């Protein structure tokens, strides 16, 4: 009756639990009597902040950067053709000595083009990419750049939480999801060497890796695109679990659905169309971790959304009306699953104040297994059949058309 849960979903949770537990114990044992780590010779750091219509958020984000225990050597702000006074605010901050470089694209070209424009003015060995609506813990930058002490690391993902979790039920459940999927999920992926995303809201790149990969490609999904290119070029991608940035999440379920439709369409566009070469053993750049990471994403995000519908149909076909009772028990199991996952996430990546959401965790299983899966399923079929990611207004039409003419879209 419950084969979908026990055979397809539970093993991954058990793997996550075992991985986090074993590594946690290992780190505790290793730290006993260990010699102090050699000091990390800090490279120069540039912060790149591209934004469109971010006048209301820009100053708060810049002040958060300037309050860091490891302040950046340079802050570069790029105005992506804003129609508000973003450029005016940026230049005022530059006159106050809070911003080092301000550039304007003049017309909107999308985040990728703005980031590439700003990259030409960045002087740091490391480039931190950020959104204008993101703020940071005071030690976030210091913790974010530490993994670069390994010269083979090309990119590091920061941890992300929500700044507006108490606004609505939608934001509360998103806060819980961020804690589980980012705080725990990316930590497990990092431990297994299969981390495939450095968020454009908060992440860092080695300048050499960025230049080697040609910078950001036309979005949407430019975050995943760049991370894939960096991995394909042979660089490691790491996760800094204690480096926290806070961002605003959609405040209604309709806004959330629109956001996730864009993200989930990019899942098919990036993982299946553009980078399924990762699963091709004969490819010159083939690496087993890249193959496993791609399979992991496609299986647990795309395939399970489809197989869950098949499972529900099978229940009704085999058990008739009693199948709906079994489906209800499944939802109760998913709720318990969410509680266990949240407890593990708080253990693996603790964040002050997140304990107040325990009462909402019991409904999170329904939100994750029904609402988000329905959105993801629709997005996957929509992208496979209609390729609507190529018509997403996230990127201006003229830019999308130019990318197609150049052969950048597949």
Q: What is the pLDDT of residues 198-253, one digit of tens each?
A: 998 999 999 999 999 999 988 777 899 999 999 999 999 999 999 999 999 999 99
Residue 28 pLDDT more than 70? Answer: no
Mean pLDDT of the residues in the chain: 89
Q: State residue 158's pLDDT score.
A: 96
Report yes or no: 192 and 23 within 8 Å, Cβ to Cβ: no
Report yes or no: 240 and 159 within 8 Å, Cβ to Cβ: yes
Q: Mind listing the pLDDT tens digit for each residue in 153-176?
A: 999 999 999 999 999 999 999 999
Report yes or no: 179 and 173 within 8 Å, Cβ to Cβ: no
What is the band of 395 on the pLDDT scale with cuts at 50, 70, 90?
A: confident
CA distance 128 to 69: 15
Q: pTM for this one?
A: 0.91
Residue 5 pLDDT more than 90? Answer: no
Report yes or no: 46 and 74 within 8 Å, Cβ to Cβ: yes
Q: State residue 32's pLDDT score.
A: 58
Residue 332 pLDDT more than 80? Answer: yes
Query: What is the average per-residue pLDDT within 267-275?
Result: 83
For residue 362, what are the contacts with CB-CB under 8 A and spacing of at least 6? Answer: 335, 338, 339
Q: Mind listing the pLDDT tens digit for each residue in 359-368?
A: 999 999 889 9
Q: State residue 35's pLDDT score.
A: 47
The pLDDT > 90 percentage for the chain reads: 64
């Amino acid at each position: 009756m419950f084969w979908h849960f026990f055979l397809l979903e539970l093993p991954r949770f058990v793997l996550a639990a075992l991985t986090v537990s074993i590594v946690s114990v290992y780190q505790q044992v290793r730290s006993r009597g260990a010699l102090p780590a050699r000091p990390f010779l800090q490279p120069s750091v540039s912060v790149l902040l591209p934004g469109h219509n971010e006048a209301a958020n820009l100053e708060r984000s810049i002040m958060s950067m300037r309050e860091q225990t490891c302040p950046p050597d340079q802050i570069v702000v790029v105005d992506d053709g804003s129609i508000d006074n973003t450029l005016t605010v940026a230049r005022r901050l530059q006159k106050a000595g809070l911003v080092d470089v301000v550039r304007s694209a003049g017309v909107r070209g999308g985040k990728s083009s703005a980031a590439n424009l700003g990259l030409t003015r960045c002087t740091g060995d490391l480039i931190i990419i950020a959104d204008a609506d993101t703020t940071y813990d005071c030690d976030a930058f210091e913790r974010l750049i530490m993994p670069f002490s390994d010269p083979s690391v090309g990119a590091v993902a920061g941890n992300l939480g929500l700044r507006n979790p108490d606004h609505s039920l939608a934001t509360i459940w998103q806060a819980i999801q961020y804690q589980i999927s980012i705080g725990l999920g990316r930590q497990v992926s990092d431990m297994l060497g299969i981390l495939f995303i450095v968020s454009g809201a908060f992440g860092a790149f080695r300048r050499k890796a960025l230049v080697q990969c040609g910078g950001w490609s036309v979005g949407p999904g430019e975050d995943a695109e760049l991370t894939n290119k960096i991995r394909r070029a042979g660089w490691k991608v790491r996760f800094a679990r204690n480096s926290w940035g806070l961002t605003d999440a959609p405040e209604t379920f309709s806004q959330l659905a629109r956001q996730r439709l864009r993200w989930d369409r990019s899942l098919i566009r990036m993982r299946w169309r553009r980078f399924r070469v990762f699963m091709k053993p004969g490819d010159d750049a083939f690496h087993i971790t890249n193959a496993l990471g791609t399979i992991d994403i496609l299986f647990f995000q795309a395939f399970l959304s489809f197989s869950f519908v098949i499972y529900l149909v099978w229940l009704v076909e085999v058990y008739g009306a009693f199948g709906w009772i079994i489906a209800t028990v499944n939802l109760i199991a998913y709720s318990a699953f969410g509680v266990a996952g949240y407890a593990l996430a708080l253990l693996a990546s603790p964040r002050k104040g997140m304990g107040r959401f325990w009462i909402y965790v019991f409904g999170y299983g329904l939100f994750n297994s029904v609402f988000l899966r329905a959105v993801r399923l629709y997005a996957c079929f929509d992208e496979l059949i209609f390729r609507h990611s190529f018509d997403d207004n996230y990127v201006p039409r003229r830019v999308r058309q130019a990318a197609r003419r150049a052969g950048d879209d597949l």
